[in-house]
Structure 1
Amino acid sequence: MAMSVGGDSAEEKPMSDINTTPLVDVMLVLLIIFLIAIPVAIQSVELTLPKVQFEPNETKPENVVLAVRGNADGSQCQVFWNMSPITSGDLLKKGSDKLKAVVDRLGDNVTPEDIPEVHIRGDVNTPYRCIGGVIYTMQNAGFVKVGFVSQPTPGAPAE
């Protein structure tokens, strides 16, 4: 941007006009960018999402049902095996013994459907480390299938 400050004649005045060409160029470039970007951001794929419904599980008598909860401040975790409190070390031993008993009973005819599952019921306010610890312990005991038991929302249709 240049400014002319006159020469020898008294009729020449400083030029006070602003060159708007660069401003218009920048605005046009921004307009083009927005015209290209907005349809991409708004575009969506038509999907039919599944309806959430409660699907009851068939509970086998050999499945392990665990309940996990943390105390009020989250410093301790409580684990219950069929309503009986159990420590982490006892959980590993009892889980290993249960799985070994099932495998010994079935012998060479063991199929993945025959191996019991672990069903964990966790309190809403239970810290993740409590439930994660139970999952880790049961996987170390040899259980492959670990599931969570939840409560459906009120009024949800059951199949």
Structure 2
Amino acid sequence: MALSFATPQSGDQGTPISDLNTTPLIDVMLVLLIMFIITIPIQTHSIGVDLPGQATAQTIPMDPVKNKVTIDAAGLIRWNGTAIDRLTLRQYLAASLRMPVEPELQFQPEADARYLTVDEVLADIKRSGVTHLGFVGNERYRDF
């Protein structure tokens, strides 16, 4: 708190004027703000952890020649007839690419499958790097 005395004017006795010095307060607030900004990325940093459920990619044997991915009307994804989720699909695609010869991947969505699900699965296939992809079952749609 800073005290200053007013200069005497026309009978004023020089009463003290007290003003709050806000400079240290602003300095402390800026230092705290910078500390919080620096520590935010540390809190959001992710750490890779190997979970026990990730080793299930080899439970279904893969065909070394061709594998078939189908999508039904309910949005259920199947790998060679076995129901899987998108994470497992990505694991199977990565495992098939690690084989000495990449097997052909046959993709067959049903006619009433949701477009969003088909699009997501195709995006997963594209991101995985599969080069041998074929669409099967389209011949049944040539006559409307």
- TM-score normalised per structure 2: 0.48
Q: Which has the higher contact order (CA 8 A, sep 6+)?
A: 1
Question: Which structure has more helix as a fraction of its residues?
Answer: 2
Question: Which structure has more strand as a fraction of its residues?
Answer: 2
